[in-house]
Amino acid sequence: MKPRQRQDPSLFLRQIGPDQYLYSMTLEQKVLAVEEVFVELDQEIARFQEWSSLHCKWGCGKCCFKADIEATVLEFLPFAHYLYINGQASDWLERIKQSDAFICHILNPTRDGAGLCTEYPHRGLICRLFGFSARTNKYGAKELVTCEIIKTEQAKAYEQASQQVAKQEGAVPLMHNYYLKLHAIDHELAHTFYPINQAIRRAIETVLAWYAYRIN
């Protein structure tokens, strides 16, 4: 498949007050910018997995069953845009609105294969970060953020990786850096965390509203 070409990244100016202008992006530009952040993160995760040897258990997906996963609207904008382009956004929105499930709506617990995410290429930032990233603790040291299954079933590799990360000897994606990258794309859509299905619903609503009201 031919790689998708980067859209013309030219920004348009939006007037926000007398003589004040703000550089703003179209929705499509935001989607592409988020996808670029995801590509960069996926590459950084691949390098981390290579040196640490940590990996997800085949077909696991247990972390997606957590009922308290939170996400921002912006990280699901590419998914919502993909739904819109494929004529599925309105159906998805109705299904999410009618459901009071806490578990991610994109998850299919009966799915066979590598994982249970039905939209793996369009999963959110938290879905990519969890398991293979680090946060900075109050003492400024990096701590791996991963799941109990990796911690217990790959205990030796996990311990070694944790020590290397803490000693700054092993490169690892930093959660904070990636949230900052999203903030730089759209602060409004990136600064509030919602339960994951609410974030997905708001992302779909944002895309539908954009296409309903845009002038051209």
Shortest separation between residue 196's beta carbon and ligand SF4, angstroms: 6
The C-alpha atoms of residue 183 and residue 174 are separated, in whole angstroms, by 15
Interaction between residue 104 and ligand SF4 (CB under 6 A):
yes
**Residue 36 or 121 having the CB closest to ligand SF4:** 121
Tokens of 39: 């590509």
Closer Cβ to ligand SF4, 12 or 65, answer by number: 65
Q: Which stretch binds ligand SF4 (CB under 6 A): 15-23, 84-92, 101-109, 156-164?
A: 101-109
- Name the one range near ligand SF4 by CB under 6 A: 6-14, 99-107, 171-179, 206-214: 99-107
Assess contact for 105 and 99: CB atoms under 8 A.
yes
Nearer to ligand SF4 among residue 32 and residue 106 (C-beta): 106
Name the amino acid, one letter, at 90.
S
Mark 192-211 with x for binding to ligand SF4 (rule: CB under 6 A) and - for no binding.
----x---------------
User: By the 8 A CB rule, do 115 and 213 touch?
Assistant: no
Q: Using CB under 6 A, which residues numbered 53 to 92 contact ligand SF4?
A: 64, 69
CA distances from 2 to 5, 84, 176, 192 (A): 9, 21, 32, 35
**Closest separation between CB of residue 60 and ligand SF4, Å?**
11
The pattern of x and - marking residues 113 through 152 that bind ligand SF4 according to CB under 6 A reads ----x-----xx--x-------------------------
Residue 107 in contact with ligand SF4, rule: CB under 6 A: yes
* Burial of 155: CB neighbours in 10 Å, binned 0-12, 13-18, 19+: exposed
Q: Does 182 bind ligand SF4 (CB under 6 A)?
A: no
Instruction: Give the binding site for ligand SF4 (CB under 6 A).
Output: 64, 69, 104, 106-107, 117, 123-124, 127, 196
